[in-house]
Amino acid sequence: MFHWLEKHPFFFAVGVFIVIAFAGLVEILPSFAQASRPVIGTAPYSTLELAGRHVYIKNSCNACHSQLVRPFKSETDRYGHYSLSGEYAYDRPFLWGSKRTGPDLMRVGNYRTTDWHENHMMDPASVVPGSVMPAYRWMFTNKADIDTAFAEQLTVAEYFQVPYNQPVPMKDGSSVVVKMGSSVAEANAIALEEAKAIAADMRDQDVKDAVERGEIPEIVALIAYLNSLK
């Protein structure tokens, strides 16, 4: 067999390619599968955070902001630890982005606060002089779509085994449970409780009043989502 291959260079090359390809798959696939699993400290999005993610997508925030810190010193010095595959385990769709008109937001929850986001979304240039980002004042009056966020939770919990209502391990050894309601009404109640905690750190009285009435403005949902990016 080997003598025959030596006399036929083409088939010899094909055989070498097959052997190397098979060895590569054996080496790479297990590591890839492991890397794509949720890393410790990565929890599913809450109903309010998912609603905020929908606001983020609807307003094309991903057109100007990436969510992918590359493994270069210039990136990690500015944005923090480079991104890991398992950190995107619950992202559907991925929002890696391909352009940075604005800064990367992968870890924005580590260094920006609720009141910062509130002021920035109302008037970006007043917070970041020279910013070309437009104001998003309508988010302060538009209502977040909690029902659609809950529908997404139901889908991913059933088809992708996203661990809602189950303990998820954190980096400090503790665990958190991200609650998913059993009905639309319960999902809205859970989201409203989280929204109250966000609104308590905001200054806009109209937003506070809306939350007290049981309404959740888009800005509250968006801030919940941005705060979750760590």
DSSP 8-state symbol, 217: B
What's the pLDDT band for 32 if we cut at 50, 70, 90?
low
Give pLDDT tens digits for 116-127: 999 999 999 999
Is residue 123 a contact partner of residue 5, using CB atoms and an 8 Å limit?
A: no
Residue 160: what pLDDT?
A: 92
Question: Three-state SS for 169?
Answer: strand
Give pLDDT tens digits for 186-211: 999 999 999 999 999 999 999 999 99
Is residue 133 a contact partner of residue 95, using CB atoms and an 8 Å limit?
A: no
DSSP 8-state symbol, 168: E
164 versus 35: the higher-pLDDT residue is: 164
Closest alpha carbon to 114 in 21, 208, 26 = 208
Domain ranges of the chain: 2-35, 47-228
The residue ranges of DSSP E strands in the chain, in sequence order, are 167-169, 175-177
Torsion angles phi and psi, residue 176, rounded to 5: -125, 155
HSE at residue 105, side-chain half, CA atoms within 13 A, is: 25
Residue identified by tokens 């800064």 is 103
The two three-digit tokens of residue 132, written as one number: 């070309």
Look at domain 47-228 and name its CATH class.
mainly alpha
Please state, in angstroms and as integers, the Cα–Cα distance from residue 121 to each residue in 116, 138, 148, 200, 226, following that order.
Answer: 9, 10, 23, 17, 12
